[in-house]
Structure 1
Amino acid sequence: MASFLRFGSFLLLSWVLTVVGNPAAAAGVFRPKPWSLAHATFYGDETASATMGGACGYGNLFMNGYGADTVALSSTLFNNGFACGTCYQIKCYQSSTCHRDVIFTTVTATNLCPPNWAEPSDNGGWCNPPRIHFDMSKPAFMKIADWRAGIVPVLYRRVPCRRNGGLRFAFQGNGYWLLVYVMNVGGGGDIGSMWVKGSNTGWTSMSHNWGASYQAFATLGGQALSFKITSYTTRQTVIAWNVAPSSWCVGLTYSSNINFR
């Protein structure tokens, strides 16, 4: 009996170490949030050219997989850039301009809608804190409402980001400073913390720069690079091993074969 108890305790301890000691296993998978009320406007034209770049730093949104289904968030939602990459379902609500045959559209946060303190928040200063507001690309807005409405009430909710392929890492900086933009993030879509490891170093913590970028003040040239990333929302952690070869260069984007759930 004592041997069985010791064996059972060993199994329990092994299970605890396996689940709790593994951040990816211990953290939850991102689930859709409840619907909430807000308002939406649009910026740019039908080409979505005005949405390129943006405060998150994703550059050309078509080349990097985001397309025209994007949105700029008011600063209350933007959260100093930690909301970059998050995904939302948005549906037009109780307006005669709503497209009745469209249930909702799904967009990715790629930009900041800055406050306009010269206008009141209910008449022009739509993105003034503490207002929650979505400034959509015009193509995305046109999926849910007549663009001539200008502004419509909407229901919105955070949803998991469905991405094809793995995380992508766009490199900037120099030999002593590595700046990395993380793109194509699945699951919660966001990044809370990040580390880099050279083939000849241990893990080095990277600090949040702005938007979807993280930086490390370290000499990492001539080493293959791996990244450890934790989701801001779910706290799930994944490791992308040997993403960039030892011959990596700034100005290039490197893809991994791993992503968040």
Structure 2
Amino acid sequence: MGSALKNVYLLSCVMVLLPALIRSQDFTCSRATYYGSPDCLGTPTGACGFGEYGRTVNDANVAGVSWRLFKNGTGCGACYQVRCKAPQCTDDGVTVVATDYGEGDHTDFILSPRAYGRMARPNVAGELYSYGVVDVEYRRIPCRYAGYNLMFKVHEHSKYPEYLAIVILYQAGQNDILAVEVWREDCKQWIGMRRAYGAVFDTPSPPKGSVSLRFQVSGSAGVTWVEAQNVLPSDWKAGAAYDSTIQLE
């Protein structure tokens, strides 16, 4: 009788622990720190090339990520749930967008000061900052941008009409942009754009007239091509962002 009760007790313990173990398997253990910023926001000079968008997107909850997450720029725009393990930390942590490349003391994340502080419970963020580096666990999650479609920004270094560089903003879902191509009407074919750096793609000879682009997406549906017809006007301007009307999930 005692043995049977013991077996029932052990089984109940396994049943209780199993959901917790399954949840923890979604996360990867690592470390995180934060960088200096006078306004606690992100940096407009991040390696992804997002500019001002990289400073303020996601309410400035942004991060520089390690090389294995940066993935030579393919990881730009990815979203992660990051939660720390110190006593001052909340259970949910913070959701951040990868906008830069950076590695510290065995870290996968160098967070904006705002994002780092939001891992903490109310009124104890100062204690968390004092650690400098904390143990964390993280997982990739879908990005959500309510009210925004995917947008194509013409990079500030573009020179109309000889040189075009673009960066893709508001990349929703859990997707990676692998490649971008531009339609050349004169030769009736798609021509690959170069990944200049980070999330910036360019071409030295953009087509005349309005510009159609297509981009290769790797996500839950596999690898697919998505077209954005005439997404840039014929008089596109450096620094301007153009709505694609496309929603990635």
Q: TM-score higher than 0.5 here?
A: yes
Identify which of 93, 101, 105 aligns with 1:112: 101
Does residue 99 of structure 1 match 2:109?
A: no
Aligned partner of 1:224 in structure 2 is: 210
Identify which of 196, 200, 205 aligns with 2:192: 205
Where do 5+ consecutive residues of structure 2 fail to align? 1-24, 121-127
TM-score (norm 1): 0.73
Q: Distance in 2 between matches of 1:194 and 1:62?
A: 20
Aligned partner of 2:152 in structure 1 is: 169
* CA shift for structure 1 position 62: 7.0
Which segment is superposed worse, 244-253 or 209-218? 244-253
Which segment is superposed worse, 177-186 or 167-176? 167-176
Q: Distance in 1 between matches of 2:140 and 2:31?
A: 15
Q: Distance in 2 between matches of 1:219 and 1:231?
A: 22
Q: 1:247 to 1:52 in 2, by over 3 A?
A: closer
* CA shift for structure 1 position 139: 0.7
Identity %: 30
Q: 1:49 to 1:161 in 2, by over 3 A?
A: closer
Amino acid at match of 1:183: L
Report the aligned-residue RMSD. 2.3
- What's the secondary structure of 1:77's corresponding residue? helix
Aligned residues: 211
- What's the secondary structure of 1:176's corresponding residue? coil
Aligned partner of 1:75 in structure 2 is: 67
Q: Distance in 2 between matches of 1:132 and 1:257?
A: 37
Identify which of 51, 72, 77 aligns with 1:59: 51
Does residue 255 of structure 1 match 2:237?
A: no
Q: 1:159 to 1:224 in 2, by over 3 A?
A: same
Check whether the contact 1:69–1:108 (CA below 8 A) recurs between aligned residues: yes
Q: Which has the higher helix share?
A: 2
TM-score (norm 2): 0.76
Does residue 186 of structure 1 match 2:172?
A: yes
With a CA cutoff of 8 Å and minimum separation of 6, indicate the structure with the bigger relative contact order.
1
